[in-house]
Amino acid sequence: MTYESVAENLRESFRVIAAARGRGEVRELHGVSIASAGVTFQMFNAAFLSAPVESEGELAQRILLPAVHFNARGLEWAYWVCDGFMHPRALRRARRVFERQNLRHAVDLPGMVAERVWPPVRALPALEVRRVERGPLRDAFCAIGSVCFNVPIAWFHEVFDSDAVWRHFAAYVGYVDSEPVSTAAVVVGGGALGVYNVATIPGHQRRGYGEAVMRYALADAGREYGIERTILQSTPAGLRLYERMGYRTITNVSVYST
């Protein structure tokens, strides 16, 4: 797998959400993909590079295209950039170019892949895992995401309020003694299973719940689609865990937002 697989799976995860919403839009511009949910949470009004960038001037043009799109709709937005698309001379100046277009650097996420996930190095805790459809399961998924990603709960509900999203965004909630404590989600794209929204609420972290739910989600999706290879964008906190599971970093995903 290459950085293109990481980029394609990431774009697909946003397309699934955007396509499920009435205000959502999925568009292809010149060298830029847009997958916008049309929501308050700017990270889900997203633009992505879809072709290589050779120069600083070309990068500025690729930023201007989605800026015009989102400004016309009055939406805050984010640019998710797989660094593999950029020539080294463009990458060196990228942060400065984005800042000139009023997009601040938010985070760097290692883009990781595994042909197959390795067995756990320790016994994982027992917990009940349920697949999200609607109602209380959706509420639990949003509540955990709100706490763990420090986002208002109303923003999470707005993103995931459509029943249609759950047909292709396979999300799971892990329960301990009937309490929802951890989540994970899987999206198919780029020839791989993409892992998203791995989170465990404070007070239950560092006990293996996140890994247990993630492994359950991958096994469930693997049976459904017959795919073993997986992709994810790691947070710094999760990097060592994912390396122990057999993931290796092949690119970086830089996120810029208004």
Q: How many CB atoms lie within 10 A of CB 163?
A: 11
The string of pLDDT tens digits covering residues 49-68 is: 999 999 999 999 999 999 99
Residue 44 pLDDT class (50, 70, 90 cuts): very high
Alpha-carbon dihedral 149, 151, 157, 159, rounded to 10 degrees: -80
Q: Which helix (H) or strand (E) is 257 found in, with range? A: strand 248-257
- At 81, the pLDDT band (50, 70, 90 cuts) reads very high
Q: What is the mean pLDDT of the chain?
A: 96
Q: How deeply is 235 buried, as exposed, middle or buried, from its count of CB atoms within 10 A (0-12, 13-18, 19+)?
A: middle
Domain ranges of the chain: 3-110, 128-250
Residue 237's pLDDT is what? 82
Q: Give backbone dihedrals phi and psi of 102, rounded to 5 degrees, phi first.
A: 65, 35
- What average pLDDT does this structure show over 73-82? 98
6 touches 82 (CB < 8 A)? yes
Top CATH class, 128-250: alpha beta
Helix, strand, or coil here: 14? helix
The 179-189 sheet, strands edge to edge: 25-29, 32-36, 45-49, 78-82, 248-257, 104-114, 230-233, 192-200, 179-189, 170-176, 128-131
pLDDT tens track for 123-166: 999 999 999 988 899 999 999 999 999 999 999 999 999 999 99
pLDDT at 128: 97
- pLDDT tens string 8-25: 999 999 999 999 999 999
pLDDT band at 73 (very low <50, low <70, confident <90, very high): very high
